[in-house]
Structure 1
Amino acid sequence: ITCATATVPSTSDLNIIKATLSGGLLRVCVAIPASQSFIKIVDIPYFKSSTMDPFTSTEVDAQLQHSIIPANFIVHWHYIHNSPKADSATIWIDLSDSQRGSQASTLIGCTLFLNGGMVTIRGAKVHTGTPQCQRCWKWGHTMGMCCHPAIWCPICSGLHTQANHRSIAGCCCSNPKASPPIPPTPADMPCSHVCPCINCGNPHAANDRCCPYWHHRFNQTWIKDRSIQDASARKGVPPPPS
């Protein structure tokens, strides 16, 4: 049975339809035709005017819960600082929508109050983000486009897979000839040795989600600018002016 509705039905609307149609031995499943639309909220103030501290994702989430965007239709959202020197941010939102995109059409062009400023909702294309290569763990290309001659370990940047890190990496495998002898890292314990991330240089694995590159994976401009900055720092030369 297909039901035409004036707007995209909410969960409570679907439950009412299900209760109306259910009865006897008839089992009814009511659902919206599966589709997604994409919107973005632009020109969002990134800093608090009183302290110049950035708004956190938690604070933004609390505001979205009470905005004109129905929370039950939000599949995913990403809050992105537009650039290291910008005072604005963008929110990319994936919406559960009808095949005609009725929910997105209703929202596009609307304004709302967010982070202390009036902002606008616009349409958006699919925002897949920047890929991270699973061979060299650099950002900006996939395994199929990787030019490195061998695979790198995301933990220590050695020329071995992460699965063989314990048996090959000097920080984890045993060295009985050392004085005193160095035992191997216990099998039930993670590698506790501090190795710099191959991307940002901080003390974590290259595939750790605490990496700033991971948090900005949907901001291609940030990834590009930060990659140039980090590469220049490793070479000991100043980055080009932005």
Structure 2
Amino acid sequence: DRTYEQKYGVRDWRGGGRSSGRETVGRVAAAAIARKFLGQQGIRVQACTVALGGVVSESFDPEEIERNPLFCPDGKAAAAMQERLEQVRREGDSVGGIVEIRVHGCKPGLGEPVFDKLDARLAGALMSIGAVKGVEIGAGFAAAGMLGSANNDPLTPDGYAGNHAGGILGGISTGMEIVVRVAVKPIPSIEKVQQTVTREGVPTTIQIRGRHDVSAIPRIVPVCEAMVLLVLADFSRHPRDTVC
């Protein structure tokens, strides 16, 4: 609210303004059309929760994602995540997590060099979601600690031997599975007493009442999926000069 008030002189205290997650409903609706369009090309997008409140998924079962309300690919981790959410709810606090989006069936050639790279557009689209504070492709930040020999994905007669690149090289899809992860911050609306100031700059405290989620996850999972679908739908309409 603070930056909106500083820029526009307006603060929507009702919680339904432009910075509210409610605005993402239009994105999800549009992505339903994009999903059908991409499906005709054999492209499938699936998002899931791989970390929540410090609990990390240890296994990946695509079928498990739809079996639990947190969209977690690890049933055991999903149960631990649910317990963690209840604990934090009782404490009047909130937690963040990590959402992973995987794209299957994307052919080589999506994306343009330099200023319209596929990974740049995906990152921009995902960062437009209010609670997202970071995006990584493939190995992402872990690549910063690797040797080049470990991070490289060698070419073989059957294709790439690995996928540290996350399905995108030089801003263009490689034909491998595209893997994107986003960092979701804890929701700022918590019941705990917090320090703040009034409009006049006088120190005071604030305690937020009412119904608020403990985490943007799982609600944000289909929103992340939607943004990837929309970006891919845009790029799939671009002419592609590819020999693959």
- TM bucket (normalised to shorter chain) is under 0.3
Higher RCO (CA 8 Å, separation ≥ 6 residues): 2
Higher helix content, 1 or 2: 2
Q: Which has the larger radius of gyration?
A: 1
TM-score of the superposition, structure 2-length normalised?
0.22
